[in-house]
Structures are given as structure tokens and as C-alpha cells.
A and B are shown apart, each in its own frame.
Chain A
Amino acid sequence: KAGVTQTPRYLIKTRGQQVTLSCSPISGHRSVSWYQQTPGQGLQFLFEYFSETQRNKGNFPGRFSGRQFSNSRSEMNVSTLELGDSALYLCASSLARQGAEQFFGPGTRLTVL
């Protein structure tokens, strides 16, 4: 069974631009979560989608948004990029049962110049 895939793996953008990251979950997984990982703040939960609906949301500004498609693939969008948005963005999928393991992708490394 293929794991969680994320594209692109690396991305360089400049301040003020917007970016879209993509995540394909493990087949059969309907829940997709997004996390931001930075050296200073560590791993922080962005949001979770299930059946095309955002169910949980972390404490991030509205510049961070996402969506999920009917095939459970998910995209995350960041508008008006800031230097502080430079981070590793991780996507995780799960079976959406309480306590179910979240399987993480390799991440997208975003650098904002």
C-alpha cells in the first residue's frame, strides 16, 4: 500500500506570493491533517479535513486555508506569504477513528525569501 505523498517536496517563494501544497492520503483514509514544523515553534496543528469538510482547526491566521476533494486528496493554501511561513509542512492521513494512527508524508519544505 502506497504511503502518504506530498508535492512538491521543495518550494521557494517570495514574500507576498501565495502557494498551494498537495497531499494524497493512503488509500481508504478519509481524514487528512496538516501540520507546520519550524525550529522555533516545533510541530503545530493547522487543520483536519474529513469528507471534504474542515472538522478541526488550529490557531493559525486566515491566510492558511485548505480543502479536500471527493477522492480524499487535500490541498493547503497560504496567501500573502511572510518570511515566518518558511517551514516544513507535513500532511497526515488516518482512518478517522478515535486514537487511530496518523500516517505522515515526507513533507513539503517551503522557503520564503
Chain B
Amino acid sequence: AQSVTQLDSQVPVFEEAPVELRCNYSSSVSVYLFWYVQYPNQGLQLLLKYLSGSTLVESINGFEAEFNKSQTSFHLRKPSVHISDTAEYFCAVSDAHSGGGADGLTFGKGTHLIIQP
């Protein structure tokens, strides 16, 4: 079984400041890692994912996350946030050796990123 812990339920940040959203996971098997973003009244959108290879992954809108196997973490960072980044962010894992197919994602509780002008 897997679990995901997002340590902060809310993170207030001033516009143009850097931000880090923390994510730790627990699993007895290898995992794939994901960050999803949910804007108000919308479904989830994939921000970035780690499957294998380079431990630093980036999204097209300036977010990045680093997979740290020893600390079982996948923290999300952005060097300078904008008002438009206000949203709920979810970290998720799936089993990397399930035999293929779309496995159920195990999500964290989410972090509400609040950008203050």
C-alpha cells in the first residue's frame, strides 16, 4: 500500500516570491510520482511527473520538482509565483511495477497555494 503526505494544507505567498510545496510518500515498491493542479470548479490537470531518469523534472509554466529517493520526497518549487498560480496542488503516486495500465493514483490531501498581491 502507498500513502502520500502533503505537510501543508495552505501556503500563503506574496506575488513574485519563491514557493515550495512539500510532498512525502511511503511505499514498499517503486513508484511513479505526479503533481496535479486543480483550479476552482475544474478537474485536475497534470503539472509534471517523474517516471525514471533525471530526478529533476520541470513543467512548462516554471514549476519544477525533484525526486529524492532517500528522503522519499517529491517537493514542488517555483522561483517566482504569479496570481494565476492560486490553486489546489495535489501530489500523487502510482505503483511502477503493477504490470501496466492505468493504476489508481494515491493522492495527498492537497495544498492550497494562496498568492497575495
Contact = CB atoms under 8 A, between A and B. Distances in A.
Contacts of B75: none
Contact of B101 (A92, A98, A101, A103): A98
Given A43-B90, A104-B44, A56 B104 contact: yes
Given A98-B96, A107-B43, A42 B102 contact: no
Interface of B is mostly: loop
Nearest to B95: A98
A43 B49 contact: no
B59 interface: no
Interface residues of B, number: 26
Contacts of A104: 36, 43-45
Given A31-B101, A33-B102, A56-B104, A101 B46 contact: yes
Contacts of B36: 104
B106 interface: yes
Given A4-B43, A104-B44, A99 B104 contact: no
Given A99-B96, A106-B43, 16 more contacts: A43-B90, A43-B110, A45-B106, A48-B101, A48-B102, A56-B101, A56-B104, A90-B43, A92-B102, A94-B102, A98-B101, A99-B32, A101-B46, A101-B49, A102-B105, A104-B44
Interface of B: 32, 36, 41-46, 49, 51, 90, 92, 94, 96, 98, 100-110
